[in-house]
Structure 1
C-alpha cells in the first residue's frame, strides 16, 4: 500500500457512509460481548476494525501478487535480476 494511501487511512476524521448489512444475530451478540473487552466503544467499531483488517490483508496479498507477476514477466523478457533488484530498491525507498 502506498504511503499516501496509508496516511489517509490513519486519519481519524475520514468521511463515512452508512450501509446496511444482514448478519446472524449470534454474530452481533458475540461482537457486542467482545467489543468492550477489546477496548471498543461498541460492536460497530469492532466490526469496522475486523473488516478493515481483512481488507488490508487482501489488498497487500493481491498487490503483492501483482508485483511478483510483474517481476516474473520482466525476467521472461530478459530483464536481469540486477536491474529488477535495483528498481525494487528505488521503489521501496520512496
Structure 2
C-alpha cells in the first residue's frame, strides 16, 4: 500500500510555494549547463529534481516505510522518476 505522503506527491495540482535560495553564481551556471544534458527545461527544474532526489533518499533512510525504502532502492538502481511515478499511479 502506498503511503499518504507519496499519494500527495503524485498529485500534480498540489499547492506550491515560492522560495528564495542564495547560491554561488558558479553553481547556478553549472546547473544551467547541465540541465539540458539531463533533459530538463532549465536550471530551476534541475534544482527541484536534486532537492526531490535528496528528500526521497533522506525520507527513505529515516522512515520505516517499506514504500519509501523500495523507491530509494529503485532510484539507486537508476530507475527514472517518471517510471517510478507511473508505476505508483498504476498501483493506486
TM-score range, shorter chain: 0.5 to 0.7
Pairwise CA distance, 1:63: 1.2
Q: Higher relative CO (CA 8 A, sep ≥ 6), structure 1 or 2? A: 2
Task: Report the TM-score when normalising by structure 1.
Answer: 0.61
Pairing 1:16-31 to 2, within 5 Å after superposition? 16-31=16-31
The normalised TM-score by structure 2 is 0.62
Residue 26 of structure 1 aligns to a residue whose secondary structure is: helix
Give the Cα separation in 1 of the matches to 2:41 and 2:12. Answer: 15
Query: Structure 1, unaligned stretches of length 5 or more?
Result: 65-94
Of structures 1 and 2, the larger Rg is shown by 1
Give the structure 2 partner of residue 81 of structure 1. Answer: none
1:1-80 alignment, distance < 5 Å: 2-64=2-64
Q: CA deviation at 1:4?
A: 2.4
Gaps of 5+ in 2: 65-92
Distance in 1 separating the partners of 2:3 and 2:59? 14
User: How many pairs does the alignment contain?
Assistant: 63
Structure 1, 37-46 or 5-14: larger mean CA deviation: 5-14
- Please give the alpha-carbon distance, in whole angstroms, between the structure 1 residues aligned to 2:34 and 2:59: 26
**RMSD between aligned residues:** 1.3
Cα deviation for residue 24 of structure 1 reads 0.7
